[in-house]
Amino acid sequence: MENKKKVAVITGASSGIGLAAAKALLARGYTVYNLSRSRCPENGVVSLRCDVCSEADIAGAFAKVAEKSGGIDLLICNAGYGISGAVEFTENADAERLFEVNFFGVYKCIKSALPLLRTCENGKKAGRIIVTSSAAAVFAIPFQAFYSASKAALNSLAFALSNELSLFKIQVCAAMLGDVRTGFTDAREKTFAGDELYGGMISRSVSSMEKDERGGMSADAVGRKICRIAEKRRMPVRCTVGGKYKLFVFLSRLLPQRLQNKIIGKMYM
Q: Give catalytic residues, as residue numbers.
A: 14, 133, 147, 151
54, 36 in Cβ contact below 8 A?
A: no
> Any bridge partners for residue 134, and if so which?
177
From residue 221, alpha-carbon distances to 132, 168, 178, 241 in Å are: 14, 31, 12, 10
Helix H or strand E encompassing 240: strand 238-241
Report the SS3 class of residue 120: coil
Tell me the C-alpha distance between 139 and 77, whole Å.
21
Tell me the C-alpha distance between 7 and 9, whole Å.
7
Cα–Cα–Cα angle for 166, 168, 169, nearest 5°? 60
Tell me the C-alpha distance between 72 and 135, whole Å.
28
Q: In the 8-state DSSP scheme, what is residue 182? A: S
The per-residue b/e assignment along 118-133, b for 16 or more CB within 10 angstroms, e otherwise, is bebebeebbbbbbbbb
227, 30 in Cβ contact below 8 A?
A: no
